[in-house]
């Protein structure tokens, strides 16, 4: 398995996206992480909640190499919804 990160940047959502980690919506107007990479020769273009990207970094840091989209939950999702739409 080969993984290569091409770009990771924090940006403000202009429209709703779906987080690859938890599959919950990334609400328009909120900050999120956009990541482009290649995995086993396949191009990937993922959107992440900032908290989900942190969880994923911990997951991969513990030796895990793969995950299934939607199998993980976003930490504090209810607070995120309140913060994104005051």
CATH number at residue 49: 3.30.1740
pLDDT (0 to 100) of residue 7:
96
| CA 59/CA 57 separation, integer angstroms | 5
pLDDT (0 to 100) of residue 85:
57
| CA 86/CA 80 separation, integer angstroms | 10
Full residue range of the structural domain in which residue 80 is found: 3-84
Q: Give the CA dihedral 48, 52, 58, 59, nearest 10 degrees.
A: -80
Q: Which residues contact 15 (CB under 8 A, 6 or more apart)?
A: 28
pLDDT in tens, 4-58: 899 999 999 999 999 999 999 999 988 999 999 998 899 999 999 998 998 888 8
pTM above 0.85, yes or no: no
DSSP 20: T
| CA 31/CA 10 separation, integer angstroms | 7
Higher pLDDT among residues 61 and 28, named by residue: 28
Number of domains composing the chain: 1
């Amino acid at each position: 398995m080969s993984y290569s990160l091409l770009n990771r940047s924090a940006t403000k959502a202009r429209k709703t996206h779906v987080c690859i980690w938890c599959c919950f919506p990334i609400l328009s107007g909120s900050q999120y992480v956009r990541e482009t990479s290649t995995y086993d020769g396949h191009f990937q273009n993922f959107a992440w909640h900032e908290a989900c990207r942190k969880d994923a970094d911990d997951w991969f840091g513990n030796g895990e190499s793969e995950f299934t989209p939607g199998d993980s939950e976003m930490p504090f999702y209810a607070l995120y919804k309140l913060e994104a739409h005051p």
